[in-house]
Structure 1
Amino acid sequence: MLKPGVNAAGFLLGNGFYNLAHRDRFTKLTGSFGPLRAILHLRLEYEDGAVGFVGTNSNWRTQSGPITVGHIFAGEDYDARLMPAGWAEPGFDDSKWRHAVELLRPQGVLRGLSVAGEPLRVIEMHQPIDVKSFSDGTRVYDFGQNASHMPRIRVNGPAGSVIRITPSEVVNPDGTINRNTMDKGNRGNAWWQYTKQSDREETWFPNFYYVGCRYVKAEGFASEADLPVKVPAEDSTFPSVPADAPRSDPDRAARLESIEMAVVHAAAAGTGRFESSNPLLNQIRDLVRWAQRSNMMSVLTDCPHREKLGWLEQYHLNGPAIRYEFDVARIFTKGMNDMADAQTDEGLIPNIAPEFTVFKGAFRAAAEWGASFLLVPWQQYEFNGDRALIETYYPAMKRYFSWLESRSRDDLLDEGLGDWFDLGPAKPGKAQNTPPIVTASAFFYYDAKLLSEAAALLGHADEAKAFAMRADQIKSSYNKKFFDPSRGVYATGSQAANALPLVMGLVDPAQKSRVLDALVRDIEQQGYATTAGDVGFRFVLRALADNNRSDVVYRMVCQREKPGYAYQLKQGATSLTEAWDSNLDTSHNHFMLGQVTEWFYHDLAGIAFDRAAPGFKHAIIRPQLPADLDWVEACHDSVHGPVAVRWERVGRQLTLHVSIPANTTASIHVPSRDGSDVTEGGSPVGRNHAGVRYLRREGDCSVYAVESGSYVFASQWQ
């Protein structure tokens, strides 16, 4: 960035969530934290060893720029005629610009990279795969993939002519855009708009506004005076109908010469690779991965268009899934700081962080959402071996639990959202099968249990004992209230109601098999379809896989006839949708139901951490082999290096390839009929096999301890 000689620095400021004004365009929420602000502390090191500093003060100058509309929801309008030439170059005359106003109130603390997420970058480019033209001169471009996009355009036409680009996730049968999945209730339209500076060809790339979309509508206008006064939402209620002729003089209107879409998101390194013999599983992984990427911004957003908010339940429910795919430790570290900043004086962790707007009731105070404040640090410890988040936020975690205690009655909590977006007789949204008191109380117990473990890890023995006793009290009350011993089910008997207690440890060991059988029976009765939603589905997956029933998960994931992953692909989705049924009233780029990725890595490939040696310092390799799969190959780049697994079977012969990074160890579970026929590297595994030590027989697997290195096990299997 530096050049020999004199240099200059300038800021181009966007509103983001800092300043959200209401406009006659799509607006999810409004609010302002005051005038836009900037802070700079620049250290300069010279060749002679001298050191200097440049900082922001009232000597800086400010001026309105070419961005006439800059709105995180409504879009970005750019008038190139308003761009001062050379404004950020040495020698620019800014004498007519206003002086910046120095903030006089107590200053904040500039914390920098210690609490910053990954930078946002252009990751790749998408080209149009189809273009459809209409009678009014508009064109709709299909880029083939729903992703977090920003356009790069080349434009011709006279100075002052305008190009407007309107995004959508889906289109109508006639090919016109349908923004129904993006505006959620006719709150207006959104677009990018560029006004030309000259009569020559110009290029433009927006500075701030990104949006999740697959399609864009492009339309040219002769001038801003020709722009329509009122723009329909272009959803199912207020569609835009192409006119019989162009609305503007075609000879004077701006012409779009080319357009490509930049995929933008946080530059977190990829850490996962997964592939299987079933192409459907590979497609589902891609479906989820695109939603992960599209929502991996400065926070983990729910969707990249109508909300862009950091809803916290995704941080823990999808934490393992996204950690297998990307190095998101910095993003989660920032997320914990956001949660701590948002914590109220009473101890509440609100449902969104940063808390840009204050929602009401359970939409601010759901226990299933606030649980991220305890679960994210544990997941970071498990995946990265880093206990810093537990150490830093343990006091604030206790404050949050005290707040939950103040809201509880008879050891139960009813302030929650239940199994949000589950599948029932009504449209997805409000929980239908598993009410808030069931899910919120389960997380109340889970929070107490996690606090006990955190206290023990940090050496607070008395607090560990106290929280463990509290967890036992909540567990007793939970079972008394919700467990039906006559049927062997919890509460409503829904998939989520039975799965949460199984995974969290609420079920009496003597009743565990009955509850698991009830869960499997319900899935079978549903035609191997899930009824669980945002909160419950991860626990359904874990309850089944943890009890060696990945055969049920496999059938549930692969069925195409009822709402689910394969059903979404059948409907044409290219990114995971908000609702299992991909209906057009909900977002088509949402990663909240993407927990299946965890199952791909943790259970199909069998790559798991050992809590006793976190960060994959000791890996547990325990693949599960559904009957219809011939092979699975996966790798996770842990903090110690890549942990790789490939298993394949031909007839009854099973081959298991495992690679363990340097300075780590692993326990490898080799499926086999009785263990007597297991070989490694072509030789029988004896008691003194080099680098391999027999540990035990566990279920239908022989378990071996190995040092770092690459291994090829073989056995006879079924």
Structure 2
Amino acid sequence: MIFTRPVTALLLILVLREAHAQHPEVSGQLAFSSAHWIAAPFSTVRDGAEEDGSHPLPVFRRTFTVRARPVKATLRIVGVGQWDAWIADSHEARPVASPGLHGAWTDYRKTVAYDTLDVTRLLHPGANVLSVMLGNGMFNVQKTSLEGARKGTRYTKFTGSFGAPKLIASLELKYREGRTEVITSDSQWKAAPGPLLFDSAYGGEDFDARRDDPTWKLAGFDDHAWQSAKAVDGPGGELIPAIALPVGVHETYKPVKTTTLAPGRVVYDLGQNFAGIVRISVHGPAGAILRLTPGELLNADGTVSQATFHGPMWWSYTLRGSGDEAWQPLFDYMGFRYVQADWVKSPWPYSEPVAPNADATVLSIKGIAEHTDARAVGTFESSSEMLNRIHHLILAAMHNNEVSLMTDCPHREKLGWLEQTHLQADGMMFNNDLRALMAANDRNMADAQWDNGIVPTIAPEYTRFGSIYGSFDDSPEWGSAAILEPWWTYTFYGDRAQLEKDYPMMQRYIAALAGKAKGGIVEYGLGDWYDIGPKPPGLEQHTTLGVTATLMLVQDAQTMECIATLLGHADEAARYGDLATRTADAFNKRFWDEVHQWYDTGSQAANAMPLAIGIVPAEHHQAVLEHLVADIHALGDHTNAGEIGYPYLLRALAKEDRDDVILAMLMRKDPPSYGSQLEVGATALTEAWDANPHSSQDHLMLGGAEQWLYRRLAGIDFDRSRADEAQQITVHPIALSGVDWVRAGFDSSLGHIESDWKREGTRVAYRITVPAGAHAMVVLPPQAASDARARLLASESAIQSRFLVGAGTWTFSAPAN
């Protein structure tokens, strides 16, 4: 009896998120003081049973009268798992929020985030109706199967339910004379089964437009046959204003190639691997079914492959049969590049295509990207086409994994794997303002923290994986995000209050991790995940278990010393400093190989990480660096480090001014390299270095080069944690041979910074922009000159020239390499 959010002539309403710190008076208790959680009176959950596609999701409506136009109307709403809502008079229903995926993913037993929307312009004097459609999302992830022949299962990563979808809402109307009226969710609401017959965050959606009455959202609709909604208990979590920004609609992708494989079967290439949905326009008879199968790659026969999904998923639309029809999935999104459109007899089971009725036609199809509405803050381009393509490869994977939390791939996982929130934080925050997203991640980590202080590998912890691969629920390289991600975030935004909020979580985590050390060594976890060896990728192959985990404890303790000092906890800072020293000493004693003058097995990860975090004794420093560089060269300027070791490898080389080695690695086109991914046609960063077609083609975890492009090649070395405010903005471009120019901009929390440089004969010209009210340290090669030296404080050395500059745009010149 319903439809979906409108897909044409959308009225974009500004979604106003109220930060709890900015509006402390609007607590969840106050916002919903007279509201009740409500659910459909019919079951939408089959406990312990398989979901077979015959379980319609509920829709709700509430009619009310507006006696005069309000001066302000605010809707506070949360529908778990996902929701869409409209307000209408008797003529037109308009969405209350901009298109996108509504509803933050949290541990609903601990935190429930509500959305706050200004709906003033949607209300009219007279009869109005607020209508809501609910989806399962991560709230209700059920086992799925194919009925009938049962040829397999519709994919799901895990199963687990917080209960049937439910909602709570409060619509507050303020009138000119000061009167306030509140319409809340209660038993006056009506509910009915909707046209969404199947909905899974992993398996897709089945929508039957024949069950839609286009007038159900209008005030004049006769809902006497609908049932009264029932008051139910909430999921238990604290109601708070949404922390993360909305997940909105962004890029649109039209087919770059269309291939008809057979009557009723067409494959569309959208040209880009992205996270989102499809939008279709179709025409045909009532009951005709179009099945849409997304995928990242193609099979040899030209059909869409779902090998990287680890199981089948699809969307299906059953036509109403009334002229041209438009539709897009409501609550499910996927990571894909290709879409296979099949006219089928039934979406269940997975039936083969049939020759379509002559009138059944796909009029148009396009891809719609969905990711967080976080503002873009960075730009990077250079004279190197390879570097530009690597930047876009990584940036695509970042966007594709930004929803209300950071996922690691947008199809088979969709879980908040935590390691990338600190390993890739630097590169991500140079591109988007992720302050809100990281704050939401911090809340999820605190909610996920175990009673013993350990922070698990994923947050929210919707499932536990047990002992797969040894330790899939608790690994120090992942759990250390509880300390390292908030610190990275502080270095970009300088938010001391957020650090104070997170500090208890950090204290509990480092105490738990230190408690697991034996003789100073932490010897468990996933290690340097996905390093490159003779075996298929997974657990580390080149580095001994305990190397990366122990070094995480060292870095955690170093970071906690900084945080405790910043927050004024001198005694605690001293204890954390002592822990860092003792653990570093234990690491050097256990893993230093005096004979070979390297760490552990001499692997890139084992040598790079101690260099990056600064614990290599001075007498061994040069030998470790030489071994690291020699190993890279011996492998043909390639890495063999995994997800954990690779970003530290880049940081170590940059710290030692061996950016030439990094550039040589980035220029390679043979595997393992970014270039090899580009050579096989990847349009987003892949999970495996060799773009293995059985691994994800849209993964964030190997994106470490993005940090180097901004911080070293462009030289925007930004850090709000530096005590000297004049050095928080340090611009130190590295004009490497082989690159002729670089242009980069960054809207930092202190203002806009630009760093441009270009080779001009035997010299390099630099153009640096410093934001208003700020100072910057500009670091250039020796013998650098400025066209405005009289306005500078300059110091020269044989190694570099340093200029302290104020706001404005500055030009410099220095000898080329």
TM-score (norm 2): 0.81
Change beyond 3 A, Cα 1:409–1:479:
same
Structure 1 residue 298 displacement after superposition? 1.0
Match of 1:292 in 2: 398
Structure 1 residue 43 displacement after superposition? 2.0
Q: Deviations over 1:499-552 (max 9, x none)?
A: 111111221122222111111111000100010111111000000011111000
* C-alpha distance in structure 2 between counterparts of 1:633 and 1:613, whole Å: 28
Within 5 Å, give how 1:585-600 maps onto structure 2. Answer: 585-600=694-709
Letter in 1 for 2:794: Y
Structure 1 residue 201 displacement after superposition? 1.6
Match of 1:359 in 2: 465
Retained in 2: the 8 A contact 1:617–1:664? no
* C-alpha distance in structure 2 between counterparts of 1:620 and 1:105, whole Å: 50
Within 5 Å, give how 1:432-581 maps onto structure 2. Answer: 432-581=541-690
Mapped pair 1:172 → 2:281: no
Mapped pair 1:624 → 2:723: no
Letter in 1 for 2:178: G
Retained in 1: the 8 A contact 2:718–2:730? yes
* C-alpha distance in structure 2 between counterparts of 1:170 and 1:158, whole Å: 32
- Secondary structure of the 2:199 match is strand
Match of 1:694 in 2: 794
Match of 2:496 in 1: 387
Letter in 2 for 1:619: I
Within 5 Å, give how 1:629-668 maps onto structure 2. Answer: 629-668=739-778
Change beyond 3 A, Cα 1:666–1:636:
same
* C-alpha distance in structure 1 between counterparts of 2:254 and 2:726, whole Å: 39
Within 5 Å, give how 1:91-490 maps onto structure 2. Answer: 91-104=220-233, 108-113=237-242, 116-183=243-310, 188-221=311-344, 223-224=345-346, 227=347, 229-230=349-350, 247-251=353-357, 254-361=360-467, 362-490=471-599
Structure 1 residue 425 displacement after superposition? 0.8
Within 5 Å, give how 1:43-54 maps onto structure 2. Answer: 43-54=172-183
Match of 1:239 in 2: none
Retained in 1: the 8 A contact 2:267–2:303? yes
Structure 1 residue 316 displacement after superposition? 0.2
Change beyond 3 A, Cα 1:81–1:392:
same
Mapped pair 1:34 → 2:154: no
Retained in 1: the 8 A contact 2:143–2:159? yes
Match of 1:7 in 2: 128
* C-alpha distance in structure 2 between counterparts of 1:615 and 1:131, whole Å: 56
* C-alpha distance in structure 2 between counterparts of 1:133 and 1:280, whole Å: 34
- Secondary structure of the 2:756 match is strand
Please say which of residues 79-88 and 324-333 is displaced more in the overlay: 79-88
Within 5 Å, give how 1:695-710 maps onto structure 2. Answer: 695-697=795-797, 700-710=799-809
Letter in 2 for 1:16: G
Retained in 1: the 8 A contact 2:730–2:778? yes
- Secondary structure of the 1:73 match is coil
- Secondary structure of the 1:54 match is strand
Retained in 2: the 8 A contact 1:161–1:253? no
* C-alpha distance in structure 2 between counterparts of 1:286 and 1:99, whole Å: 51
- Secondary structure of the 1:359 match is coil
* C-alpha distance in structure 1 between counterparts of 2:181 and 2:355, whole Å: 56
Mapped pair 1:74 → 2:203: yes
Retained in 2: the 8 A contact 1:670–1:702? yes
Match of 1:234 in 2: none
Letter in 1 for 2:807: S
Task: Structure 1 unaligned segments of length 5 or more: list them.
Answer: 232-242
Match of 2:20 in 1: none
* C-alpha distance in structure 1 between counterparts of 2:226 and 2:579, whole Å: 63
- Secondary structure of the 2:451 match is coil
Structure 1 residue 472 displacement after superposition? 1.2
- Secondary structure of the 1:40 match is strand
Retained in 2: the 8 A contact 1:616–1:638? no
Please say which of residues 45-54 and 254-263 is displaced more in the overlay: 45-54
TM-score (norm 1): 0.92
Letter in 2 for 1:360: G
* C-alpha distance in structure 1 between counterparts of 2:384 and 2:644, whole Å: 28
* C-alpha distance in structure 1 between counterparts of 2:193 and 2:558, whole Å: 54
Structure 1 residue 250 displacement after superposition? 2.7
Structure 1 residue 95 displacement after superposition? 2.9
Structure 1 residue 106 displacement after superposition? 8.8
* C-alpha distance in structure 1 between counterparts of 2:297 and 2:237, whole Å: 43
- Secondary structure of the 2:130 match is coil
Retained in 1: the 8 A contact 2:201–2:332? yes
Match of 2:144 in 1: 23
* C-alpha distance in structure 1 between counterparts of 2:170 and 2:374, whole Å: 26
Structure 1 residue 173 displacement after superposition? 3.3
* C-alpha distance in structure 2 between counterparts of 1:104 and 1:595, whole Å: 45
- Secondary structure of the 1:446 match is helix
Match of 1:237 in 2: none
Letter in 1 for 2:427: A
* C-alpha distance in structure 1 between counterparts of 2:552 and 2:405, whole Å: 23
Q: Deviations over 1:177-213 (max 9, x none)?
A: 1111122xxxx31111000112422111221111111
User: Which consecutive aligned stretches of 4+ in structure 1 deviate over 6 angstroms post-superposition?
Assistant: 614-617
Letter in 2 for 1:333: A
- Secondary structure of the 2:282 match is strand
* C-alpha distance in structure 2 between counterparts of 1:706 and 1:616, whole Å: 9
Retained in 2: the 8 A contact 1:667–1:705? yes
Structure 1 residue 614 displacement after superposition? 8.7
Structure 1 residue 59 displacement after superposition? 2.4
Structure 1 residue 615 displacement after superposition? 9.3
Retained in 1: the 8 A contact 2:283–2:321? no
- Secondary structure of the 2:648 match is helix
Retained in 2: the 8 A contact 1:679–1:713? yes
Give me the CA root mean square deviation: 1.8
Structure 1 residue 87 displacement after superposition? 2.4
Structure 1 residue 230 displacement after superposition? 4.2
Match of 2:116 in 1: none
Change beyond 3 A, Cα 1:464–1:626:
same
Structure 1 residue 633 displacement after superposition? 0.8
Mapped pair 1:604 → 2:713: yes
* C-alpha distance in structure 2 between counterparts of 1:515 and 1:286, whole Å: 33
Retained in 2: the 8 A contact 1:643–1:660? yes
Flag the structure with higher strand content: 2
* C-alpha distance in structure 2 between counterparts of 1:613 and 1:131, whole Å: 57
* C-alpha distance in structure 2 between counterparts of 1:442 and 1:347, whole Å: 19
Letter in 1 for 2:762: R
Change beyond 3 A, Cα 1:84–1:617:
farther
- Secondary structure of the 2:343 match is strand
Change beyond 3 A, Cα 1:50–1:620:
same
Structure 1 residue 658 displacement after superposition? 0.1
* C-alpha distance in structure 1 between counterparts of 2:778 and 2:282, whole Å: 59
- Secondary structure of the 2:129 match is coil
Change beyond 3 A, Cα 1:525–1:585:
same
Q: Deviations over 1:308-333 (max 9, x none)?
A: 11100010000001000111110000
Letter in 1 for 2:607: N
Letter in 2 for 1:289: L
Q: Deviations over 1:1-48 (max 9, x none)?
A: 413223221221111111011112111111100111212133211122
